Structures are given as structure tokens and as C-alpha cells.
């Protein structure tokens, strides 16, 4: 069986940067380094980080002056940063520059008097963080069907959660046109996400079976799974190589592999090696 690894699989620029900042901080700081929530949406990499001294906490309560807090690539609210600073906590800001863009556009729209709309998932940390930049005033919508329930506003400004599907974003923007006199749109979807999704679709169109590697809590990995399924190919979502089942591949000539932005290279390698071992057993 042929095994094709999609381009742009695994860590994106923003996650790579966050990992480097975290490992550097762990090397040169006292042992107490924390992230608010998992630093990335990949349980295996979070375990590795914990072994290196980067621990996940759910709030700032147990942190004391002199501790270090790493802000995740998803970013956080300005209030959280202020609270941490007030407690004397050192901040390592690993917010992805693309997320910073989304935060800045949202804040600028808010200050200019636009009703801000965020196209994304309301419970995602990135969206919760952006909300903090608009005093929690934004409407969060996941898809165009939700627009009909919203009231009309004179001026509406739209941004996207960085991992949104472009087609979904466009549909929401079109639907909002009917609800506003003036519409300002910032396409804040990150290029890494778009390229990864395009590469996954390309491979899915050529493969009999797709393996998508990544945390089950990772929004962008779950989107890759949906896209491969929409392309009509049998698709399995796994977190580790141990989940691969030999019988899946019995009638697959070409297997495509892709991975979410928070999937480390070592996990991808393990999956590829296991797939190659199935090949050897069958030859």
C-alpha cells in the first residue's frame, strides 16, 4: 500500500513557537511554570511538557509571585494578563501572532462602534480570549443558519476564529449582509490552517483511506476529519499509533495521512512507522 503524508501536517508556526517558548522557559526558570489550560490540544505532548516542568492549571488561584505563566497560542483575555501581573507572576506570551491579529481587529471594530461578530466556537479558548478584547459584547456564530435569529444592526464587523473553514466564514458573511447597513470584514483565518486543509482534501481525493492524527480535543484536527469525510473517503481519527487496526488497511491501496496543528512530529513518525510495518508484514 502507498502511504502519502499530506504537506503541512503537524505543528504549525504558532504551535512550534509556543513549544519553543515553553521548553526554553522550563530550561532556565525555576520549576514552577504553568499554562492556563493545556498549552496545546494534544494530550501526549501535554504529558511531555509536564515531565519537563510545564504544568496545566485551570485558574490563577494556586500561582504565587515569582511563578511563570505561559499564555497559550490561543491567547487569553487582557483581564487574565492584568490579574497575573498584579499577583507578581512572570508572563511568557506565546499567543500566536495570527491570533493577536484577530484580537486587534476585534478590539478596533469594537472601539469604532461596530457590533462585532466572531465566526467560531463560543467555548473555544481563542474565542473566549478575543471576547475579552470586546468586553464580551461580540456575537459568536458557528454557521450562517444562526444569523436569522440575530437583530439588525447599523454597523457590523466580522472576524473569524483562526481555524475556521473559509467557506463557512464566507456563508456567514453573506448572511450578515442582510442584517446590517454597513459591514466590515476581516478575514482572520490563518494561512497555515487553509493550506493544511487544502493539502488534506487533495490527499483525501487520491486515497482509499485517510488517517488523521491529533487530539480529540483539537478543533483544527476535528475539522480535518470532517473535510476528509466530506471528500467521501473512509477516515479514521487517531491520537497515537497504538490505535491503528491492521484490518482497516486490508483493501486500501493508498493511505493518506495528515495531522492537526497541535500534533507533534514524533507522534506522526510513530504512525508512519507502524503503517510501514503493516506493509512489511503483508509483503
Contact set with ligand SF4 (CB under 6 A): 12-15, 73, 96, 98-99, 162-163, 190, 192-193, 220, 261
Q: Which residues contact 24 (CB under 8 A, 6 or more apart)?
A: none
The least distance separating ligand SF4 from the CB of residue 226, rounded to whole angstroms, comes to: 16
Q: Please, which residue, 107 or 254, has the CB nearer to ligand SF4? A: 107
Q: Which of 82, 126, 239, 243 is catalytic?
A: 126
How far is 73 from 94, CA to CA, in rounded Å? Answer: 5
Residue nearest to ligand SF4 according to CB distances in the complex: 14
Bridge-based pairing state of the strands 54-57 and 33-36: parallel
CB of 195 to ligand SF4, least distance (A): 10
Compute the least distance from the CB of residue 162 to ligand SF4, in Å. Answer: 4
> Where in 103-222 does DSSP place strands (E)?
115-119, 139-141, 153-160, 180-185, 209-213
Residue 156, helix vs strand vs coil: strand
Q: Nearest 5 degrees, angle CA 236-CA 239-CA 260? A: 80
CA atoms of 270 and 136, how far apart (whole Å): 42
| Closer Cβ to ligand SF4, 14 or 157, answer by number | 14
Q: What is the DSSP letter of 30?
A: -
Task: Decide if 126 is catalytic.
Answer: yes
Classify 113 as helix, strand or coil: coil
Nearer to ligand SF4, 97 or 246 (CB): 97
- Least distance in angstroms from the C-beta of 98 to ligand SF4: 4
Catalytic residues: 126
Amino acid at each position: 500500500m502507498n502511504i502519502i503524508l499530506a504537506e503541512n501536517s503537524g505543528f504549525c508556526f504558532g504551535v512550534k513557537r509556543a513549544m519553543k517558548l515553553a521548553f526554553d522557559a522550563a530550561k532556565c526558570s525555576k520549576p514552577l511554570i504553568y499554562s492556563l489550560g493545556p498549552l496545546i490540544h494534544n494530550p501526549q505532548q501535554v504529558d511531555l511538557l509536564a515531565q519537563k516542568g510545564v504544568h496545566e492549571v485551570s485558574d490563577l488561584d494556586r500561582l504565587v509571585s515569582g511563578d511563570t505563566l505561559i499564555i497559550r497560542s490561543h491567547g487569553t483575555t487582557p483581564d487574565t494578563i492584568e490579574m497575573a501581573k498584579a499577583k507578581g507572576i512572570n508572563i511568557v506570551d506565546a499567543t500566536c501572532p495570527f491570533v493577536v491579529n484577530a484580537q486587534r481587529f476585534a478590539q478596533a471594530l469594537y472601539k469604532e462602534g461596530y457590533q462585532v461578530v466572531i465566526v467560531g466556537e463560543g467555548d473555544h479558548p481563542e474565542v473566549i480570549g478575543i471576547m475579552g478584547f470586546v468586553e464580551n459584547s461580540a456575537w459568536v456564530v458557528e454557521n450562517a443558519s444562526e444569523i436569522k435569529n440575530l437583530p439588525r444592526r447599523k454597523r457590523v464587523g466580522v472576524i473569524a476564529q483562526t481555524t475556521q473553514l473559509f467557506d463557512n466564514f464566507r456563508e456567514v458573511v453573506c448572511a450578515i449582509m442582510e442584517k446590517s447597513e454597513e459591514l466590515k470584514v476581516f478575514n482572520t483565518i490563518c494561512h497555515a490552517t487553509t493550506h493544511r486543509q487544502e493539502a488534506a482534501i487533495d490527499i483525501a481525493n487520491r486515497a482509499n483511506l485517510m488517517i488523521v492524527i491529533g487530539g480529540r480535543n483539537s478543533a483544527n484536527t476535528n475539522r480535518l476529519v470532517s473535510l476528509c469525510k466530506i471528500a467521501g473517503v473512509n477516515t479514521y481519527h487517531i491520537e497515537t499509533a497504538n490505535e491503528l487496526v491492521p484490518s482497516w488497511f486490508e483493501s486500501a491501496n493508498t493511505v493518506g495521512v495528515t495531522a492537526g496543528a497541535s500534533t507533534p512530529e514524533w507522534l506522526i513518525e510513530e504512525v508512519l512507522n507502524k503503517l510501514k510495518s503493516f506493509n512489511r508484514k503483508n509483503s
